[in-house]
Structure 1
Amino acid sequence: MRKLLLILITAFLTACAGSDSAPYSEDKIAKQFQIPTDGTANLYIYRDSSWGVSLGIDIYVNGQYIATTGADSYAYLSKLKPGKYKIESYLSVSDWKSWITVDLQPNTNTYIWQDLKLGQKVYLREVTERVGKIGVKEGRLLLH
């Protein structure tokens, strides 16, 4: 009985932990951090914390659903037109929502850190390339 209960709890936590992972080959390509040369921009939105491991956080960019992050995961959007983008995060178990506007520049990578704090509050912050790469490298790419 204990073994069955453990399996059910594990399955539940896995199901709640976010969107499905992309294939390893896509994750590997995204982690090469290639900077576009065609005037477009890349956007990484990552969550590198195991705090609230069973809580999925929805990501929207300009009102369009992208993915649901779990612990140590990230979304990668490539070849975006330069300009302003509104990134929103919603935690389904609370009324808390967070948003940030970023101005994507041509031929750049931009990194947004999604952080879950005590009290089920989500925060979004633009971080430096060095910090962003470290966070993304720890995670798994999500399908979107």
Structure 2
Amino acid sequence: MFRKAVLAIFVASILGGCASVPMESKEASAQAKRFEVPADGNAGLYVYRDSIVGQALKKDIWVNDDCLGESASGVFFYRQLPGDEKYTISTESEFSPNSLSLLLERGKNYFVRQYIKLGVFVGGADLEVVEPEKAKTNISKLELAKSGTCSGPLKDPADSNASDSKKPA
């Protein structure tokens, strides 16, 4: 009986509830939803989360080693970055970050969806590139979150394999 109760609480925490993160103004959100061509020499990066699963979870997102922000269901981020460069977009997950690399061409917008998947202990997160028209439709229903606040530093996957032995002084 106890195991069923724990399982029910776990499933409810994954499927129900809503996490909240700091949000930008409605005006800033509306501006970002215009999907305008980025400033000269830049590329635009939209990262959004619209999944129903894991609404109670917040997950960090990084671009290279810079914190993009902490996501929650129903939010998106927008950032302009120097174009014609390769970037690694990462999200925290259950055991180590999941990442994808993109070459962002100047003058173009790119769209990445963060989604929650069931994990062993908590929901994990992953990323996928989405076609512009589908992404614009999805983002039009979301609100812009404030960038720059993550729950902690980006974890290096190599650190999770390291032993706890102390280094000599």
TM range (shorter): 0.7 to 0.9
What runs of 5+ residues in structure 1 fail to find an aligned partner? 1-12
**Equivalence for 1:100:** 100
For 1:88 and 1:18, locate their aligned partners in 2 and report how far apart those are by CA, in whole Å: 20
**Equivalence for 1:81:** 82
Q: 1:59 aligns with which of 58, 61, 73?
A: 61
**Equivalence for 2:114:** 114
Shift of 1:107: 0.4
Structure (1/2) with the larger strand percentage: 1
Q: CA RMSD in A?
A: 1.4
**Equivalence for 2:23:** 21
Shift of 1:50: 2.3
Shift of 1:88: 0.5
For 1:25 and 1:108, locate their aligned partners in 2 and report how far apart those are by CA, in whole Å: 22
Give the greater-gyration-radius structure (CA). Answer: 2
Shift of 1:72: 1.0
CA deviation string 1:27-83 (max 9, x = no partner) = 0000000012512110000001121111001001111111111111111102x1111
Q: Partner amino acid for 1:39?
A: G
What runs of 5+ residues in structure 2 fail to find an aligned partner? 1-16, 148-169
Q: How many residue pairs are counted as aligned between the two chains?
A: 127
Q: Would you say the 8 A contact 1:85–1:102 is kept in 2? A: yes
For 1:46 and 1:36, locate their aligned partners in 2 and report how far apart those are by CA, in whole Å: 18
Q: Partner amino acid for 1:136?
A: I
**Equivalence for 1:134:** 137
Q: Would you say the 8 A contact 1:18–1:67 is kept in 2? A: no
For 2:114 and 2:64, locate their aligned partners in 1 and report how far apart those are by CA, in whole Å: 16
For 2:96 and 2:47, locate their aligned partners in 1 and report how far apart those are by CA, in whole Å: 18
Shift of 1:121: 2.5
Alignment of 1:36-55 (within 5 A): 36=38, 38-55=40-57
Identity %: 28
Q: Partner amino acid for 1:85?
A: Y
